């Protein structure tokens, strides 16, 4: 009897013991993941070079001659962060905690001070980063509406996002909701062809809500997983634009309850603190559920990400790091902080 039980247990354990092959496979796949992550981080660091170098050049001059950490050093650092577009309110919050620590003599050298700043920044960035809804949803089509002013990178980001989802095996469809200019429809059409993603369009000048209405219908029929809608960033007046976006939103909601499931605002990182105002205007008019920050490769003031998250409490979903379709990444706070504050090899 006891022997039987013993046999049973050991045969069960056998199932848990992995063969050499299986062990190798697991090690290989986690190694592959790790090296992929390394490549991603390297690109990320490279593209954020301007922000990092801007920061370090000045930081080195602050710490020249290994100065002690005193109120002068803190003041200069605060100024530097503000100049990197992290924003006064955000920097104030970070430094009130840092100053406490300095007072309690917890930060004795530059290394400890930098680690503390990194930790505070990371804490801030992680506050608003909830898991994206599309990752665990039975909503189909999952509808994402893009909004933002002209030239920020909406159409390009839609192409990038479409490609991102397509690479995950999802069925994607685009909607040319920017009917204000013919060129805007053509631009999305070019991307759609290149990426082999279906596109719904009307002619230029058509009512955007009518295009969206057709697209939602078509996406439902064609078993589309993700429907991404482009919109105009400029109309004759700002009031009209907001009214038009509200109408598009209502049209979608009438067809599918609780849709659009996400409303992404696209912000150009090179516009600095101005971007914040844009988030507020669109948020107040149509509601916004997430931010896409573009052109981080073209600015030395990438600190704007921190300020935007801190002031809006909205998650930054993706960042744009160039004009190509792959110059795009989900926003990961830790990677971001490491890329802007970490020295080579750290
Ligand atoms: N360097 C860089 N350029 C970008 C990025 N995203 C978009 N652009 C460029 O910004 C310009 C405007 O983009 P577009 O998508 O047409 O903006 P839209 O008017 O908001 O639709 C184009 O020349 C894009 O190639 C980015 O992340 N980095
Ligand atoms: Mg556009």
Mean pLDDT for the stretch of residues 294-316 = 90
Q: What is the mean pLDDT of the chain?
A: 86
Mean pLDDT for the stretch of residues 160-179 = 97
Does 337 have pLDDT greater than 80? yes
Q: Residues of the chain with pLDDT > 70: what percent?
A: 87
Q: Could you tell me the two tokens for 31?
A: 């190694």
For residue 320, which atom of ligand 1 is closest to its CA?
27
Most confident of 27-36, 53-62, 127-136: 127-136
For residue 149, which atom of ligand 1 is closest to its CA?
20
Mean pLDDT for the stretch of residues 246-260 = 96
Residues with CB under 6 A from ligand 1: 148, 150-156, 233, 266, 294-295, 297-298, 320-323, 327
Mean pLDDT for the stretch of residues 294-315 = 89
SS (H, E, C) the chain: CHHHHHHHHHHHHHHHCCCHHHHHHHHHHHHHHHHHHHHHHHHHHHHCHHHHHHHHHHHHHHCCCCCCCCHHHHHHHHHHHHHHHHCHHHHHHHHHHHHHHHHCCCCCCHHHHHHHHHHHHHHHHHHCCCCCHHHHCCCCCEEEEEECCCCCCHHHHHHHHHHHHHHCCCCEEEEEECCCCHHHHHHHHHHHHHHCCCEECCCCCCCHHHHHHHHHHHHHHCCCCEEEEEECCCCCCHHHHHHHHHHHHHHHHHHCCCCCCEEEEEEEHHHCCHHHHHHHHHHHHHCCCEEEEECHHHCCCCCHHHHHHHHHCCCEEEEECCCCCCCEEECCHHHHHHHHHCCCCC
Q: What is the pLDDT of residues 3-39, one digit of tens each?
A: 444 444 444 444 445 666 766 665 666 677 777 777 7
Least confident of 10-19, 120-129, 303-312: 10-19
Distance 329 CA to ligand 1 centre (A): 15
Most confident of 119-128, 192-201, 333-342: 192-201
pTM recorded for the entire structure: 0.85
Q: What is the pLDDT of residue 234?
A: 77
Report which protein residue has its CA nearest ligand 1's atom 1: 322
More confident of the two residues 250 and 38: 250
């Amino acid at each position: 009897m006891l022997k039987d039980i013993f046999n049973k247990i050991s045969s069960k354990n056998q199932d848990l013991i992995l063969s050499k092959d299986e062990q190798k496979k697991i090690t290989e796949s986690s190694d592959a993941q790790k090296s992929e992550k390394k490549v991603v981080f390297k690109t990320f660091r490279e593209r954020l070079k301007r922000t990092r170098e801007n920061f370090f050049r000045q930081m080195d001059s602050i710490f020249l001659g290994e100065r002690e950490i005193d109120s002068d050093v803190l003041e200069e650092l605060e100024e530097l962060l503000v100049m990197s577009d992290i924003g006064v309110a955000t920097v104030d919050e970070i430094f009130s905690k840092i100053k406490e620590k300095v007072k309690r003599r917890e930060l004795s050298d530059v290394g400890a001070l930098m680690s503390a700043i990194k930790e505070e920044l990371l804490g801030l960035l992680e506050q608003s980063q909830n898991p994206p809804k599309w990752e665990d949803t039975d909503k189909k089509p999952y509808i994402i509406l893009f909004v933002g002013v002209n030239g920020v990178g909406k159409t390009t980001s839609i192409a990038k996002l479409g490609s991102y989802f397509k690479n995950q095996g999802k069925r994607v469809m685009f909607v040319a909701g920017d009917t204000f200019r013919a060129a805007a429809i053509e631009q999305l059409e070019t991307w759609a062809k290149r990426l082999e993603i279906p596109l719904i369009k009307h002619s230029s000048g058509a009512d955007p809500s009518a295009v969206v209405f057709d697209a939602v219908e078509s996406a439902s029929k064609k078993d589309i997983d993700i429907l991404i809608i482009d919109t105009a960033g400029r109309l004759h007046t700002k009031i009209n634009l907001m009214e038009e976006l509200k109408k598009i939103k209502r049209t979608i909601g009438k067809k599918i309850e609780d849709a659009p499931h996400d409303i992404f605002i696209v912000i150009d990182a090179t516009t600095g603190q101005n971007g914040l105002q844009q988030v507020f205007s669109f948020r107040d008019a149509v509601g916004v559920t997430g931010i896409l920050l573009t052109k981080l490769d073209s600015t030395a003031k990438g600190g704007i990400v921190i300020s935007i998250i801190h002031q809006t409490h909205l998650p930054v979903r993706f960042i744009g790091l160039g004009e190509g379709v792959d110059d795009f990444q989900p926003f990961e706070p830790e990677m971001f902080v490491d890329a802007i504050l970490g020295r080579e090899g750290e």
